[in-house]
Structures are given as structure tokens and as C-alpha cells.
């Protein structure tokens, strides 16, 4: 692969998904795009690059963007955020949403569904406290292929072993050949929809909790700020934003503040902001 | 430093598991079947047991049942690690007192994730 091809594809990805592809990730291009080249019957990477450069095949450009966006995901990833959801976020919402009895969670980059399903399992495990509540989990991703997989809720043996405690696997999955199928009761709790984080999210509606983990790290400063500002607009004053372990709002957005003592969980800043985020965080 | 008894009749599997667990700061003992594993536990009760199912002399589930009625045998966290990957086996293992279950093939990430879920790391 030559430098021109690399730069041309990096530009395409930046425009379409906000994804920032550094020179150090050049190795990823070929390994991720070779399957696309095969799928389109191109004779190798150069021919694929030529077709991308021509820019006539919209479907191809979409497939290339999808193949390059990172889709790594596992159940209860990093575990701590999910403990916080159960022990901090859920009790707060139970106390403060009592009059309308509804909770809406948005997983803004849900990949193949492990994150929203992890949240659904937590809600299910707490169903006694949530009787009569309307629970919405909206799961969006730029990759339609990932959404299909998420909606299906079928995982490989490898996937169900990453992060998923065995007692939850036994309780909420059924074995089907070499795949593990998540229960319909859990599957029905999650709505999957395509959404590009660079687009206007007003159709998403107000969300009490937003999971936007391990997405910002792939975006440049301006795009990060834009995405955070839009999420802020969707949030009630006491909503919760989750970012990934390596992500921060510092120097990017004044809209959010860390909730002290809870790494990775943010609330709206300012006078009408989150009651838990008012302390210096 | 926590201790882990690796029980598997395959020398290769024991070696791989030892390497991964030593990397996670465990002190490793090995046993090649359930009987030898019980003897090791009688000498010194480990913090964790990584346990294969199918082994000669005494298999994993027989070992686990014996372990759980031994003095102090309720303490070790037992993680099955076996090619038996169907729901019936998994449920039998949990019923016999297993804390976690790994379906082979495994890698260091799976071991790490399972050991962290049960609070060993």
C-alpha cells in the first residue's frame, strides 16, 4: 500500500465516521480491508483502493467505513461501569424517576450488542424493584453488520466467555450448536438502530443514561467536542454519561464533569447540572 | 501471593495455564488427576483450583464433590476448564460447587476475565 492510498482512505474515514486513522494504524488497513476486497472480487488491495478513489460505489464506501470502525466488544466490559450502573445510577433513577416510572438508556456505539445486553441483564436481575417501570435501551452503531449481529443475539463460545459470569450465561443463554443464543426476554429489552455519531441525534430523544465508551478515542478534538455537546443536549440535568477508561472530557468539553469517586461516569456541569457532579471533579 | 492448583491430565495444558497464571502473580501447583489434586489439597489448601473434567483415576467433578466436603474445602475458588461445553455439564458443575466455568479452548484473556469475576484478581 502506498502513502497516497493510505491518506485517501484515512480522509474518507474521517469524513464518514470521524474516525482518525494514524500512520501507526496503517497495518490495520490491509488486514481489515482485504476481506472487503475479496467480497467485491477485487484482485487485491490496489484494485480496491482504485475503486474507493473513484468513489462511485456508495455501498463499497460504506462497507469500507464499517470494516475500519473498531467493533471489539465484550459483555460487562471493564466490569466496574456496570457495578456503578447497578449501585449508583439505578438507585438514583429509581428515586428520581418515581413519578414517571421510566428510564431510557442509550448505548451510542453498541457494536454487536454486548453492552446493551449487559445492561438489560442488570435490569432484569433487578426486576422486582422495577415492576411497573418502562425501561428502554436504545442501541445504535454506525455498522449495519454489527447491528444485525446485535439484534440476533447469537454469540460464539469465545464471546460468551469474555466478561459474562457463568451464572448469567446459564440463566440468560441457550446453546444452539456452537452458538449461544440470548433469551428473547433480554433481546426484547433492546432496540437496535443505525446511527452515525456525526449526525444530529435529536431523533434519539431524551436519555437518562448514555454509554459512549471507547468511541471518542478514535475521534479528533473538534469531533469529540461536537459529539459531547450533542449528548449534553439529550440529557436531563441529572443524567449520566459513561466514557471509556482511557477517555476524558478535560480540555474537550465544559458540558460535563466527572462524578467524584466514580471513574468514567460524568454528569452535566453548571448550576443546573448534575447534583452529584457539583463538587470539583 | 495467591496460590492456584492446576489440575489437568495434559502436561501441555498445565504448562500453558501455569504460564498465564504466573503472569497474574499466582503461585502454581500442578496435579495430573483428581486423586493427586485431593492429596495436594490435603497438604495445603490452595486459594484457587483450575480444574479439568475428564481425567484418569478421578475426574474433575468427583474431585470437586470430595473437595467441598473436606475440612477447609469450601474455601478454594474452583474454575472448571474443560472441553465439556454443553449446558448440562455446566449446570452439573455449578451444582457441585464450581464458581466459574471455562470452555476450552481458552486464552489468557478468558482466564484473566474469569479469575477477575470471581474476585481472585
Helix (H) or strand (E) holding B3: strand B2-7
Cβ within 8 Å of residue A242, ≥6 positions away: A81, A85, A209, A210, A211, A212, A213, A264, A265, A266
pLDDT at A281: 41
pLDDT at A138 over 60: yes
**Chain A residues within an 8 Å CB radius of B94:** 166-167, 170
The lowest-confidence range among A115-124, A129-138, A272-281 is A272-281
Residue of A nearest to B89 (CA): A170
pLDDT at A268 over 80: yes
Q: Select from A161, A163, A167 the Cβ nearest to the Cβ of B102.
A: A161
pLDDT per residue as tens digits for the range B100-117: 999 999 989 899 999 999
Contact A79 B116 (CB under 8 A): yes
Domain extents in chain A:
3-68, 80-277
- Residue B32 domain boundaries: 2-117
Q: How confident is the model at residue A27 (pLDDT cuts 50, 70, 90)?
A: confident
DSSP category for residue A219 = B
Q: How confident is the model at residue A30 (pLDDT cuts 50, 70, 90)?
A: confident
Report the domain count for chain B.
Answer: 1
Instruction: State the architecture of A3-68 in CATH terms.
Output: Orthogonal Bundle (1.10)
pLDDT at A278: 63
Overall CATH class of domain A80-277? alpha beta
Interface residue of B105, B113, B114 to substitute, partner A, most A CBs within 10 Å = B113
Predicted ipTM? 0.92
**CATH code, domain carrying B77:** 3.40.50.2300
Cβ within 8 Å of residue A126, ≥6 positions away: A86, A90
Please report the sign of the dihedral spanned by the C-alpha atoms of residue B64, residue B69, residue B73, residue B76.
positive
pLDDT at A280 over 60: no
What strands, in cross-sheet order, belong to the sheet with A240-243? A190-194, A134-141, A102-107, A209-212, A240-243, A265-268, A256-258
pLDDT at A1 over 90: no
pTM of the model: 0.88
Please compute the mean of the pLDDT values over residues A191-201 and round it to a whole number. 94
**Chain A residues within an 8 Å CB radius of B109:** 162
- Three-state DSSP at B42 gives helix
DSSP category for residue B107 = -
Note whether A236 and A208 are within 8 A (CB): yes
pLDDT per residue as tens digits for the range B56-79: 999 999 999 999 999 999 999 999
Distance CA A116, CA A6 (A): 34
In this predicted model, which residue has the larger pLDDT, B12 or A69?
Answer: B12
Question: Nine-digit cell at A222?
Answer: 473538534
Amino acid at each position: 500500500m502506498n502513502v497516497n492510498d493510505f491518506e485517501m482512505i484515512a480522509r474518507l474515514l474521517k469524513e464518514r465516521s470521524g474516525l482518525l486513522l494514524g500512520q501507526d494504524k496503517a497495518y490495520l488497513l490491509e488486514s481489515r480491508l482485504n476481506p472487503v476486497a475479496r467480497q467485491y472480487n477485487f484482485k487485491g488491495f490496489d484494485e480496491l483502493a482504485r475503486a474507493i478513489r473513484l468513489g462511485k460505489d456508495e455501498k463499497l464506501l460504506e462497507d469500507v467505513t464499517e470494516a475500519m470502525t473498531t467493533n471489539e466488544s465484550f459483555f460487562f466490559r471493564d466490569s466496574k461501569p456496570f457495578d456503578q450502573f447497578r449501585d449508583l445510577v439505578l438507585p438514583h433513577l429509581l428515586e428520581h424517576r418515581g413519578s414517571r416510572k421510566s428510564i431510557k438508556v442509550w448505548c451510542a456505539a453498541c457494536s454487536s450488542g454486548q453492552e446493551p445486553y449487559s445492561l438489560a441483564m442488570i435490569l432484569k436481575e433487578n426486576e422486582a424493584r422495577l415492576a411497573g417501570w418502562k425501561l428502554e435501551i436504545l442501541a445504535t452503531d454506525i455498522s449495519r453488520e454489527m447491528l444485525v449481529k446485535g439484534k440476533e443475539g447469537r454469540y460464539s463460545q469465545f464471546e460468551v466467555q469474555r466478561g459474562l459470569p457463568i451464572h448469567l450465561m446459564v440463566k440468560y443463554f441457550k446453546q444452539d450448536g456452537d452458538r449461544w443464543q440470548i433469551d428473547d426476554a433480554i433481546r426484547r429489552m433492546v432496540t437496535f438502530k443505525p446511527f452515525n455519531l456525526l449526525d444530529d441525534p435529536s431523533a434519539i430523544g431524551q436519555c437518562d443514561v448514555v454509554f459512549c465508551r471507547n468511541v471518542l478515542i478514535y475521534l479528533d478534538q473538534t469531533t469529540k467536542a461536537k459529539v459531547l455537546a450533542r449528548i449534553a443536549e439529550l440529557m436531563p440535568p441529572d443524567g449520566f454519561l459513561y466514557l471509556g477508561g482511557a477517555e476524558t472530557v478535560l480540555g474537550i468539553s465544559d458540558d460535563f464533569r466527572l462524578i467524584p469517586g466514580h471513574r468514567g461516569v460524568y454528569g452535566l456541569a453548571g448550576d443546573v447540572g448534575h447534583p452529584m457532579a457539583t463538587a470539583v471533579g | 501471593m495467591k496460590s492456584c492448583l492446576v489440575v489437568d491430565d495434559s502436561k501441555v495444558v498445565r504448562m500453558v495455564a501455569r504460564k498465564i497464571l504466573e503472569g497474574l502473580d499466582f503461585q502454581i501447583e500442578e496435579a495430573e488427576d483428581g486423586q493427586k489434586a485431593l492429596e495436594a489439597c490435603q497438604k495445603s489448601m490452595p486459594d484457587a483450583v483450575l480444574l479439568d473434567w475428564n481425567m484418569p483415576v478421578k475426574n474433575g467433578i468427583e474431585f470437586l464433590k470430595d473437595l467441598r466436603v473436606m475440612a477447609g474445602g469450601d474455601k478454594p475458588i474452583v474454575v472448571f476448564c474443560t472441553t465439556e461445553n454443553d449446558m448440562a455439564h455446566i449446570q452439573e458443575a455449578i451444582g457441585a460447587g464450581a464458581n466459574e466455568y471455562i470452555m476450552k479452548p481458552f486464552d489468557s484473556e478468558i482466564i484473566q476475565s474469569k479469575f477477575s469475576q470471581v474476585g481472585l484478581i
